[in-house]
Amino acid sequence: MLLCGIINELEQSMSKIDILSYFFCQATDSRINHATAVLRGLLYLLLNQQPSLVSHVQKKHDHAGKALFEDTNAWTALCEIFTNILRDPDLHNTYLIIDALDECETDLPKLLDFIVQQYPASSRVKWIVSSRNWPGIEEPLERAGHKIRLCLELNPKSISAAVSTYIEHKTLQLADQKNYDNRTRIAVLQHLVSNANDTFLWVALVYENLKNVPRWKTLTKLDEFPPGLNSLYRRMMSRICDSDDTDLCKEILAITLTAYRPITLIEITAFVKTFEDIADDHESLAAIIGLCGSFLVLREMTIYFVHQSAKDFLLKEASKDIFPLKTEDIHYTMFSKSLQVISKILKRNIYSLNAPGISIDQVKKPDPDPLAAAWYSCLYWVDHLIDCHRGNIINDLKDSGSVYNFLRKCYLYWLEALSIMKSLPDSIIMIIKLENLQTSESPDLRAFIHDAKRFALYNRPVIEQTPLQSYCSALVFSPEKSIIRETFENCIPPWIQRKPRVQVHWSAALQALEGHSGSVCSVAFSPDSKQVVSGSDDMTIRLWDTATGAALQMLKGHSDYISSVAFSPNGKQVVSGSGDWTVRLWDTATGAALQTLKGHSDHVSSIAFSPNGKQVVSRSDDRTVRLWDTATGAALQTLGGNLGSVSSIAFSPDGNLLSALHVYNHWVVEGKANILWLPPDYRSTCEAFWDKTVVLGHSSGRISFLQFRQGHKLVI
């Protein structure tokens, strides 16, 4: 409410060419509770007011299309576009406003880092943000300079005056809408003033309730709105408990509280028995949702909590009323009914696509959407299974249980549906979660799930882009003994008359990470093994999720091939060396370029982080090794001499000295001393070093390990 007032004041006072862009976060709305949505919303309003800046978007949009703002790289792309716009000399004076940062549920640290990093970009840009006074929000923002912090708790008179103005406005609206007489108008005004306790939300909730009260009942109903949000919520809950529809309302509240995201009006019909016969009667469904007092609101066919405080109240103070048994029982209900609705709805080619090679970008959602009722269930049935009480799901996880039966019948249909939903990587996460649930008591289910994981990992690139290839390429090229292939072989299209000879069993290769358009020159695991970074001669660096194979970030900035990449010890940064003679530091969360380190006069061949992450070392074909400060980008030291064309370098474990081991001219070298000559069969195409260990990679595919003690005696 307060930010709305600030926006109104700015609109009246600023110049006609000034820009005002704002975004309101809301935790209960999955469309507007994540960092990418914030930047996307701010960018839209900014460009709408200064269209000349659209050139910053046009080139990228022409190349990537709608996916620029929606796929896994959307955050990186938006950060780059936004940064360029804020630094554009033609940008007008700009006010960027974000309300309720505390309700940004996803990637809030990314958003805070972005705001702080952009602060110095232009004196013409001013940021205004609001939030609860959480340390996790206040501390990052402290890094920004020239800021003003306003604590509402320390300005009670200003807040009280603002709420009073809001009350007067809402009272006049009610009086006009309901045609109040003077006595009723004054009574409503006095009740709101006496009980609001300087809380905008309390006034808004009472206003919404009074809109539905007949004029002649208004005075008697005022006492039903006690002061304080929790008191108001208690009265609303009491009203639900005393109504004829109490069981239905509690069931709806239980489902919405247990759901992992706001659920649509169509999706909830799968979980509430009363809705089964009126699933197509949206007007009646909406009326039933309206019975849930002031806790729920329906917007664009999706059910939301009216405010985070309403959800918090129900969980903390009304859970015994809503969950007469346990939340685990609601999870089991949602799991079992999810399998029922998925099994009932899913089928092969559910969108009736007219060719097996149709790209996901060409798929248009039918109206009505046959997947609408099963959308939530497809995405979250495994999570509800996991959150059930273990004793409830023993039978479901048996070889004859519901999970095994569902997978044997619907696994490929499910993959197709998730591809259409652009959520195929989620299937791999869910399968891994299922695999972790299994015991030796269900060998058939365990074997099926393991094969399902291999199938999804191997075929993710093609199914993700072309949903119907689940039944074509994915089956045809799977191993002969693949359980998925054997189970669904009758789904292979009849126009494939002769199938190629394939391997009998799955190979050791789990998945291929596709996306680079050139040769991959360097790869590295993150310290926690959850990500892989790759550098290519297509001049890009890519971050990948090791569990799903999904592309997380694409980092651009180098003007030549990427020769070497490495993660920092905490996994928050990546360093890259390139043929453009530079070393670059990147933020793995945002994809932002942090530093460009210049000084080499030839291709950078190798880079490494120090154990504490505060320094980076680089080796170049200019025959120098350079030491850099990661915080400032300053060059700390340059080592020259007869280092040769060393391909790999590393720090010693204590971080004090660079590892002296390298390979040069067919010799293993320590410092400047040759210590071990390599015969022709052992000469390497690439090397890696750690402490006193050398790993040699050979063109034959063989890898050799050498380990040295002090005194250079080979360990036998």
Model confidence over 311-321: pLDDT tens digits? 988 998 888 88
Beta pairing, strands 19-24 & 94-99: parallel
Q: What is the pLDDT of residues 514-538, one digit of tens each?
A: 889 999 999 999 999 999 999 999 9
Domain membership flag for residue 216: yes
| C-alpha dihedral (63, 66, 70, 75), degrees to nearest 10 | 40
Task: Looking at the structure, tell me whether residues 377 and 299 fall in a common domain.
Answer: no
Check residue 714 and give its pLDDT.
43
Task: Looking at the structure, tell me whether residues 218 and 248 fall in a common domain.
Answer: no
Task: Looking at the structure, tell me whether residues 429 and 351 fall in a common domain.
Answer: yes
Q: Report the chain's C-alpha Rg in angstroms.
A: 31
Task: Looking at the structure, tell me whether residues 41 and 170 fall in a common domain.
Answer: no
Is 656's pLDDT higher than 60?
no
At which of 105, 122, 150 does a domain end? 150
Is 159's pLDDT higher than 80?
no
Check residue 142 and give its pLDDT.
83
Check residue 649 and give its pLDDT.
67
Check residue 444 and give its pLDDT.
93
pLDDT: is 171 or 708 the higher one?
A: 171
Domain membership flag for residue 463: yes
pLDDT: is 255 or 28 the higher one?
A: 255
The percentage of the chain sitting over the pLDDT mark of 90, rounded to a whole number, equals 44
* Number of residues written out for the chain: 716
SS3 658: strand
Beta pairing, strands 693-697 & 703-707: antiparallel
Q: What is the pLDDT of residues 122-141, one digit of tens each?
A: 778 999 999 887 888 888 88
Is 339's pLDDT higher than 60?
yes
Check residue 80 and give its pLDDT.
85
Residue 164 to residue 172: CA distance in whole angstroms: 12
SS3 341: helix
Q: What is the pLDDT of residues 51-66, one digit of tens each?
A: 999 888 876 666 556 6
Check residue 67 and give its pLDDT.
60
Domain membership flag for residue 653: no
* DSSP letter (8 states) at residue 92: P
Beta pairing, strands 540-545 & 693-697: unpaired
Q: How many CB atoms within 10 Å of residue 34?
A: 19
Contacts of 58 (CB under 8 A, 6+ apart): none
Domain membership flag for residue 621: yes
Is 713's pLDDT higher than 50?
no
Contacts of 13 (CB under 8 A, 6+ apart): none
Task: Looking at the structure, tell me whether residues 18 and 120 fall in a common domain.
Answer: yes
Domain membership flag for residue 126: yes
Task: Identify the domain containing residue 181 by its residue range.
Answer: 156-226
SS3 572: coil
* Helical axes 327-345 vs 246-258, angle rounded to 10°: 80
Chain centroid offset of residue 531 CA: 14
Check residue 706 and give its pLDDT.
82
Task: Looking at the structure, tell me whether residues 413 and 484 fall in a common domain.
Answer: yes
What average pLDDT does this structure show over 496-519? 88
Check residue 140 and give its pLDDT.
85
Q: What is the pLDDT of residues 674-703, one digit of tens each?
A: 778 888 878 877 777 666 778 888 877 788
Task: Looking at the structure, tell me whether residues 12 and 144 fall in a common domain.
Answer: yes
Token match 């200019």: residue? 622
What average pLDDT does this structure show over 325-342? 92
Check residue 356 and give its pLDDT.
92
- Let me know: does 24 contact 129? Beta carbons within 8 Å: no
φ and ψ at residue 124, rounded to 5 degrees:
-85, -5
What average pLDDT does this structure show over 550-565? 91
Domain membership flag for residue 650: no
Is 167's pLDDT higher than 50?
yes
Is 657's pLDDT higher than 60?
no
Distance in Å from the first CA to the final CA of the chain: 74
Domain membership flag for residue 393: yes
Check residue 704 and give its pLDDT.
85
What average pLDDT does this structure show over 226-255? 87
CATH value at residue 541: 2.130.10.10
Q: What is the pLDDT of residues 667-679, one digit of tens each?
A: 787 766 777 888 8
Residue 408 to residue 336: CA distance in whole angstroms: 16
Of 543-547, 581-585, 710-714, give the lowest mean pLDDT range.
710-714
Q: How many CB atoms within 10 Å of residue 141?
A: 17
- Let me know: does 410 contact 374? Beta carbons within 8 Å: no
SS3 82: helix
What average pLDDT does this structure show over 32-38? 91
pLDDT: is 69 or 610 the higher one?
A: 610
Q: How many domains does the chain have?
A: 6
Q: How many CB atoms within 10 Å of residue 509?
A: 9
Check residue 715 and give its pLDDT.
40
Task: Looking at the structure, tell me whether residues 160 and 137 fall in a common domain.
Answer: no
Of these ranges, 137-146, 429-438, 631-640, the one predicted with the greatest mean pLDDT is: 429-438
Domain membership flag for residue 505: no
- Let me know: does 658 contact 625? Beta carbons within 8 Å: yes
Check residue 438 and give its pLDDT.
74
Check residue 155 and give its pLDDT.
67
SS3 227: coil
At which of 150, 174, 206 does a domain end? 150
Task: Looking at the structure, tell me whether residues 542 and 684 fall in a common domain.
Answer: no
Read off the tokens for 314.
């129900």
Using 50, 70 and 90 to split pLDDT, how confident is the model at 244? confident
Contacts of 315 (CB under 8 A, 6+ apart): 257
Task: Looking at the structure, tell me whether residues 401 and 480 fall in a common domain.
Answer: yes
Q: What is the pLDDT of residues 352-408, one digit of tens each?
A: 999 999 999 999 999 999 999 999 999 999 999 999 987 788 889 999 899 999 999
Check residue 698 and give its pLDDT.
80
CATH value at residue 15: 3.40.50
Check residue 646 and give its pLDDT.
52
Contacts of 120 (CB under 8 A, 6+ apart): 145
Q: To the nearest whole number, what is the mean pLDDT of the chain?
A: 86
At which of 124, 150, 176 does a domain end? 150
Task: Looking at the structure, tell me whether residues 535 and 618 fall in a common domain.
Answer: yes
**Looking at the DSSP assignment, which residues form a beta bridge with residue 160?**
none
Task: Looking at the structure, tell me whether residues 480 and 389 fall in a common domain.
Answer: yes
Check residue 224 and give its pLDDT.
82
pLDDT: is 213 or 581 the higher one?
A: 581
